[in-house]
Amino acid sequence: MARKSMATKTRAPSTARQKAPRRRATAKSMASQQREISVSEFFTKNRHLLGFDSPTKALLTTIKEAVDNSLDACEEAGILPDLEVAIEPAGGDRFRVVVTDNGPGILKGQIPKIFGKLLYGSKFHRLRQSRGQQGIGISAAGMYGQLTTGKPIVIESRTSKRRPAHRYELVIDTRKNEPVVKKDTTVDWSAAHGTRVEIELEGVYRGGRHGVETYLRQTVLANPHVEIAFRPPGTTEADEPVLFQRASKVLPVEAHEIQPHPYGVEIGLLLRMLKETRATTLKSFFQTEFSRVGPTLARRIAEGSGLTSRTSPRRVSPERAELLLAVIRKSRIPAPPMDCLSPIGEERLLESLEEQVAAEYYDAVTRSPAVYRGNPFQVEVGLAYGGELGADDLATVCRFANRVPLLYQQGACALTKAVLQTNWRSYGTQQSRGALPSGPLLLMVHIASVWVPFTSESKESVAGYDEIIKELKLALQHVGRKLGAHLKRAAKARDSERKRQYIEKYIPHIGIALREILDLSERQEERVVRTLTGTLERSRKM
Amino acid sequence: MARKSMATKTRAPSTARQKAPRRRATAKSMASQQREISVSEFFTKNRHLLGFDSPTKALLTTIKEAVDNSLDACEEAGILPDLEVAIEPAGGDRFRVVVTDNGPGILKGQIPKIFGKLLYGSKFHRLRQSRGQQGIGISAAGMYGQLTTGKPIVIESRTSKRRPAHRYELVIDTRKNEPVVKKDTTVDWSAAHGTRVEIELEGVYRGGRHGVETYLRQTVLANPHVEIAFRPPGTTEADEPVLFQRASKVLPVEAHEIQPHPYGVEIGLLLRMLKETRATTLKSFFQTEFSRVGPTLARRIAEGSGLTSRTSPRRVSPERAELLLAVIRKSRIPAPPMDCLSPIGEERLLESLEEQVAAEYYDAVTRSPAVYRGNPFQVEVGLAYGGELGADDLATVCRFANRVPLLYQQGACALTKAVLQTNWRSYGTQQSRGALPSGPLLLMVHIASVWVPFTSESKESVAGYDEIIKELKLALQHVGRKLGAHLKRAAKARDSERKRQYIEKYIPHIGIALREILDLSERQEERVVRTLTGTLERSRKM
């Protein structure tokens, strides 16, 4: 029918064709233009999607990607992270960024692809909280450096005392998205293990809330177990680095990899899993490839779709697969296991707020985990109030995703939206509609998830899934209510203190007056004053 | 030095290591996890980056991608586009989207990759205005369909009367990002040429400002030469389709491909071009690979860097390349050619506003082209005021990029920001700070460029490069000022009309009075009234 109606329509153009000034392209000439686009070509042209749209941001993003990788590696290996971040001027608007860690190091064979190929990594395919998740970051930073300075990315890494440290100089062949090794040597390296990444790029070094130092401070805030020595541009070897010290020697709980949860699976994925699985029966397929599916449930799913436990997954037709999915959605299946998450935790949040922020009231809450589109996630909020925090400014909101500070696109971010949508007035703080609360208030808002849905590859803000916003608001309301109570108590205390002072101030005069009137001895006067004070104090307290 | 300071640091962790509850991962175990990530796997997991984050949006995005391709193809071939867009319910929350065009068709051999592989296309590598630019859209839509319904994407295409129409059923192997042909047949097709794309997907059909119908209406608004027959869900073959008629039979001016402009080139790209060029001398390299470089300039650049016109590009060292770039940046080079752009044009903008919007005042302006990061771009603004436009609402802003309506992420978009940053109060319209102007006002804001910098792959909003915002504001101020003048004139006219009415109303009574006082004849009275009216009219006009 579509065809038919087109038949009549297509008369028009043929006439229009004659009208056209001259013959333009044909199917043939267009075909000759078709080409594959490598992912590195794509992101070179779309660098702003990766956070390289301005020189200031480019410098920050580069450091961020290197630090993320170092911290992930250290924690995976159970090592307390000691990082050094150095920014060395390299002439004109160029800087050399050097990030050195004490992590487990990287096997020689892996170095080229990890740093010289986009979309390559260990974190994309597993369900487990980590800072990196895309396999783009560090190689993109290297690519940006190469693009703006022509210089290769330099990696040194050592995995053990018994092995030498390897040194690579790499560039990316952007046409192929493949690493090209320019130099491959060994160097001596005094530490037993660790990795050093050096990238030269065009950038601008700035302070302020989007600056590198803010990023590092917030990193330590959300990662109290991390220590970072920072050498800003212009510091010499002689100078002591700026030291961001750890507030705790306890490593975060290790996050464990989980299988996908049945509720999160769509037909397309299910069909692919059925095709790719090593399992030979439906029963073992569901038990091994999914979380929370035991033998009984596996059998029920298979039989509920008119198949048997022993049916071979490869034999399942698309129509049957749909039935399987229907049964799954009807079955009651417990939430996915949550040990794939590693939140900061209320205790650490408090520790690190107290360490880093000079306030007079602190609070923190870690919600129990929830699920969006089958992905476990968990939100936490830390709060600091009063003290040296600016009383007249808007509240400071520090956003974190999987312990990584988010400095850009605050407006577009679900974490910010949740703060805006919370009614802070009812907790005794100022707030004009649609705005952040104002007053001496600092909020840490953290989402931890096996898959944080970022609004772009630059991972600057979190997409606003309803489940996520809801959890965030509950956490914010929790700390908000307690803040409200605290402010009430404080007000009351101030008030009664004032009353007490009145009494102290005036009773003595009454004493003196009485003494003159009744001409009492000093001791009598004192007694009168004492009793009066006591009585009044008691009455005041009622 | 970085090394040294690490040496001391690395003591801590080793102790920390013993503290760690149990040995975690090692460099070796981590290496075993490293894997390549295919671009289709990446976007399957990050579908929201492509505009598939909600079922409503998914349906719109799918149609948008298909329509974009059809229009690009028709225009490239010099064919007046006749499209049919049908949305057929396919059970439950599923729809079958069918887009049929009268374009030049697609060669058999190209069909699988164009529709079954992400990052494949003809538009990414050339500098020339077109709707598509990434080589992702339509294959991503197919992939989303496959993911949510398990159904293949179906393509029928015919390139000429002399050839049969081919029919393909494709799925994407997301692990490899390669097409898998499920069926390959020929069908009879009554039109001489054209393409039909059918995608079944999970979606929600909605009206409203984010709806398909709005999108189609705005498409015709920005493309007056296009005609679209729309079959919304639930319409049968018997029903007439909703017809969006063309306002003009004139095809847009053809956009021509240009070479990159020297100012837009960075060292990394220059090095690659020097390596890949077919040119054997620097002189011919600069003349053939760049726009706006003639023989003299080419020679000056070469010699300015201590090389000669005859130096072989492959022989240029990175250091020399830097010099070349320095010389280029110092040289005065004319702006890139602008025939790579094809704006709508003031005349067409007016035509189509008058055709589609019932207002009482219309205006349009097309700015002359400008350049950002070496990319030519051009902005246009159409304005309609009064008539049936809602007087109490905020202004309606229709955003377009390369003639494609943008329906989502209005807040994040440079086009919106430019409207917000324009001071509409000074043009006689209401506007509260930070908000859109209010009143019976509709604005069409269009950016045409060889490379529109979108804030995400879903191409929903434009990144705020300064040059772009500046041009937009100039265009908006231009139409704004003229609107202001118009509104003043109108007010004045109303005012004098009122005065005239007073005169008409009262003079006759004066006549009657005089007649009685001086007891004049009817004729005398008439004369008096006439002269009085005349005199007052004249005086009023002074």
Contact of A295 with A287, CB cutoff 8 Å: yes
Amino acid at B301: I
Amino acid at B522: E
**Chain B CB within 8 Å of residue A194 CB:** yes
Place of tokens 């995400």: B456
* B460/A contact by beta carbon, under 8 A: no
CA-closest candidate to residue B179, choices A36, A153, A71: A36
Confidence (pLDDT) at B234:
87
**Joined tokens for residue B34:** 């490293």
In Å, how far is B385's CA from the nearest CA of chain A? 30
B interface test, pick of A33, A83, A177, A323 with most B CB neighbours within 10 Å? A33
By CB atoms closer than 10 A (0-12, 13-18, 19+), residue B235 is middle
| C-alpha to C-alpha distance for B188 and A496, rounded to whole angstroms | 92
**Site from A43, A54, A71, A80 to mutate, B interface, most B CB atoms within 10 angstroms:** A80
Cβ neighbours for A399, distance < 8 A, ≥ 6 positions apart = A405, A406, A410, A413, A415, A416, A445, A446, A461, A462
* Helix or strand (DSSP H, E) at A449: strand A441-449
Pair type for strands B194-202 and B361-366:
unpaired
Residue spans of alpha helices (H) in B125-265? 137-149, 212-222
Q: What is the pLDDT of residues B358-403, one digit of tens each?
A: 999 999 999 999 988 889 999 999 999 999 998 888 999 999 999 9
* The CA-based dihedral angle spanning residues B503, B504, B508, B510, taken in that order and rounded to the nearest 10 degrees: -10
How close are the terminal C-alpha atoms of chain A, in Å? 87
CA distance A120 to A136: 7
Structure tokens at A162: 């018994």
- The CATH number given to whatever domain includes residue A52 is 3.30.565.10
Domain check: are A158 and A187 in the same one? yes
Distance CA B257, CA B522 (A): 81
CA distance linking residue A106 with residue A138, whole number of Å: 14
How far is CA A95 from each of CA A67, A362, B256, rounded to the nearest angstrom?
A: 17, 39, 39
Task: Tell me how far apart the alpha carbons of residues B137 and B119 are, in angstroms, rounded to a whole number.
Answer: 9
Q: Provide DSSP, A34-75.
A: -EE--HHHHHHHTGGGGT-SSHHHHHHHHHHHHHHHHHHHHH
pLDDT at B353: 94
CATH number of the CATH domain containing B294: 1.10.8.50
- What are the pLDDT tens digits along chain A (542 aa)? 333 333 333 333 333 344 444 557 888 888 888 889 999 999 988 888 999 988 999 999 999 999 999 999 999 999 999 999 999 999 989 999 999 999 999 999 999 999 999 999 999 988 999 999 889 999 999 999 999 999 999 999 999 999 999 999 999 999 999 999 999 999 999 999 999 999 999 999 998 888 999 999 999 999 999 999 999 998 888 899 999 999 889 999 999 999 999 998 999 999 999 999 999 999 999 999 999 999 999 999 999 999 999 999 999 999 999 999 999 999 999 989 999 999 999 999 999 899 889 999 999 999 999 988 889 999 999 999 999 998 888 999 999 999 999 998 888 899 999 999 999 999 999 888 778 999 999 999 999 999 999 988 999 999 988 899 999 999 999 999 999 999 999 999 888 888 777 767 776 776 677 677 777 778 877 877 777 777 766 666 55
Nearest Cα residue to A221 out of A131, A100, A351: A351
CB < 8 Å from A in window 92-121 of B: 98, 100, 102, 104-107, 109-110, 113-114, 117, 119-121
Interchain CB distance below 8 Å, A1 and B237: yes
Whether residues A71 and A220 share a domain: the answer is: yes
**Cβ under 8 Å to B: A residues 363-402:** none
User: Do B298 and B432 share a domain, yes or no?
Assistant: no
* Pair B278, B356 in one domain: no
CB B377 within 8 A of CB B338: no
- Determine the Cα–Cα distance for residues B419 and A50; give it in Å rounded to an integer: 27
Number of helices and strands (H, E) in chain B? 16, 16
Residues 491-530 of B with CB under 8 A from A: none
Helix (H, G, I), strand (E, B) or coil at B347: helix
Name A85's bridge partners.
Answer: A99, A230
Q: Which residue has the tokens 């189609």?
A: B216
- pLDDT given for residue A494 in this prediction: 87
For chain A, what is the domain count?
4
Nearest residue to B376 via CA among B334, B422, B347 = B334
Give the confidence band of B5 by pLDDT, cuts at 50, 70, 90.
Answer: very low
Residue B4 covered by a domain = no
Q: Nearest CB to B119: which of A37, A190, A269?
A: A37
Q: Which residues of A touch B84 (CB under 8 A)?
A: 2, 5-6, 9
DSSP code for A124: T
Q: What pLDDT score does A531 carry?
A: 76
Are A530 and A431 within one domain? Answer: no
Residues B211 and B71 in one domain: yes
Q: Do B78 and A17 touch (CB under 8 A)?
A: yes
Lowest mean pLDDT among B152-156, B501-505, B538-542: B538-542
Q: Which of B1, B12, B17 sits opposite A237 (nearest CB)?
A: B1
Q: What sign results for the dihedral spanned by CA atoms A456, A461, A466, A468?
A: positive
Phi, psi of B292 (to 5 degrees): 70, 20
CB contact A147 to B (< 8 Å):
yes
Cβ neighbours of residue A114 closer than 8 Å, sequence gap 6 or more: A106, A120, A121, A138, A139, B34
CATH number at residue A438: 3.30.230.10
Q: Answer yes or no: do B182 and B284 share one domain.
A: no
Q: Inter-chain contact B191–A322, Cβ cutoff 8 Å?
A: no
**Is the Cβ–Cβ distance between A371 and A450 less than 8 Å?**
no
Is residue A516, in this structure, part of any structural domain at all? yes
Q: Between the CA of residue A468 and those of A260, A369, A454, B506, what are the distances in Å?
A: 19, 11, 12, 71
Q: Measuring CA to CA, which residue among A104, A333, A483 is closest to residue B27?
A: A104
* C-alpha to C-alpha distances, A314 to A289, A493, B176, nearest whole angstrom: 14, 72, 20
Domain that holds residue B356: 346-487
| A363, A384, B247 from A484: Cα distances, Å | 12, 13, 62
The pLDDT score that the predictor gives to residue B309 is: 95
- Identify all chain B residues contacting A46, using CB atoms and an 8 Å cutoff: 134, 457
- What per-residue confidence (pLDDT) applies to A452? 94
Q: Residues B73-98: pLDDT tens digits?
A: 999 999 999 999 999 999 989 999 99
Under the banding of pLDDT at 50, 70 and 90, the label for residue B500 is: confident
| CA B428 to each of CA B31, B420, B425, B438: distance values in angstroms, whole numbers, following the listed order | 66, 15, 5, 11
Nearest to A27 among B105, B229, B451 (CB): B105
- Which of these, A195, A196, A170, A200, lies nearest to A97 by C-alpha position? A200
Give the max Cα distance, chain A: 124
B244, B271, B304: which is the final residue of a domain? B244
- Tell whether B406 and B289 lie within a shared domain: no
Amino acid at B382: G
Chain B residues lying within 8 Å of A1, measured CB to CB: 237
Asked whether residue B316 is domain-assigned, the answer is yes
Q: Given A9, A81, A174, which is nearest B82 (Cβ)?
A: A9
- Rounded to whole angstroms, the Cα distance separating A278 from A297 reads 20
Express each pLDDT in B54-74 by its tens digit.
Answer: 899 999 999 999 999 999 999
Interchain contact A79–B (C-beta under 8 A)? yes
Can you count the helices (H) and strands (E) in chain A?
A: 16, 18
Instruction: Tell me how crowded residue A138 is: count the other CB atoms within 10 A of its CB.
Output: 26
Hey, of A122, A148, A169, which one would you mutate to test binding to chain B, going by the most B CBs within 10 A of its CB? A122
DSSP character at residue B516: I
B341-352 pLDDT per residue, tens:
999 999 999 998
Question: Which one of A102, A170, A257 makes the best mutation probe of the B interface by having the most chain B beta carbons within 10 Å?
Answer: A102
Nearest to B361 by CA among B389, B340, B341, B331: B389
User: Given an 8 Å threshold on Cβ–Cβ distance, is B34 in contact with A110?
Assistant: yes
B512 in the same domain as B431: no
Task: Flag whether A197 is in a domain.
Answer: yes
- Alpha carbons A501 and B96: distance in angstroms, whole number: 79
Q: How far apart are CA A384 and CA A479, in angstroms?
A: 10
Q: Does one domain contain both B183 and B143?
A: yes
Domain annotation covers residue A177:
yes
CB of B395 closer than 8 Å to CB of B418: no
Sequence-separated (6 or more) residues with CB below 8 Å from residue A518: none
> Residue with structure tokens 């400014």?
A393
- Pick from B11, B17, B22, B33 the residue to mutate for testing the A interface (most A CBs within 10 Å): B33
Listed in sequence order, the residues at least 6 apart from A269 whose beta carbon sits closer than 8 Å to its beta carbon are A260, B44, B147
Q: Which structure tokens are listed for A148? A: 């703006």
Decide: A187 and A148 in contact? Cβ < 8 Å.
no
Q: Which residues of B touch A12 (CB under 8 A)?
A: 80, 82, 102, 227
Determine, yes or no, domain membership for B25: no
Asked whether the beta carbons of residue B191 and residue A28 sit closer than 8 angstroms, the reply is: no
Q: How far is CA A459 from the centre of its chain?
A: 8
User: Does A341 map to a domain?
Assistant: no
Do A384 and A436 have their domain in common? yes
Q: Which pLDDT belongs to residue B536?
A: 67
**Chain A to chain B Cβ contacts (< 8 Å):** 317
> Cα–Cα distance between B241 and B235 in angstroms, integer?
8
Same domain (yes/no): B300, B210: no
Q: How far is A378 from chain B (nearest CA, A)?
A: 19
Q: Are B113 and A33 in contact (CB under 8 A)?
A: no
Report B:200-239 residues touching A (Cβ under 8 A). Answer: 227, 229, 237
Q: Are B456 and A456 in contact (CB under 8 A)?
A: yes
Evaluate whether residue B212 is within a structural domain: yes
Chain centre to alpha carbon of residue B277: 32
Last residue of a domain, one of B272, B306, B330: B330
Mean model confidence pLDDT for chain B: 89
Tell me how far apart the 2 most distant CA atoms of chain B are, in Å: 124
* CA pair distance B195, B379, nearest whole angstrom: 31
Judge residue A381's burial from the number of C-beta atoms within 10 Å of its C-beta, 0-12 exposed, 13-18 middle, 19 or more buried. Answer: buried
Classify the C-alpha dihedral A474-A475-A481-A482 as positive or negative: positive
Question: Angle, nearest 10°, between helix axes A346-356 and A212-222?
Answer: 140
| Residue where one domain finishes, among candidates A452, A468, A487 | A487
Half-sphere exposure for A350 (CA within 13 Å, toward CB): 10
Note whether A195 contacts B: Cβ–Cβ < 8 A.
Answer: no
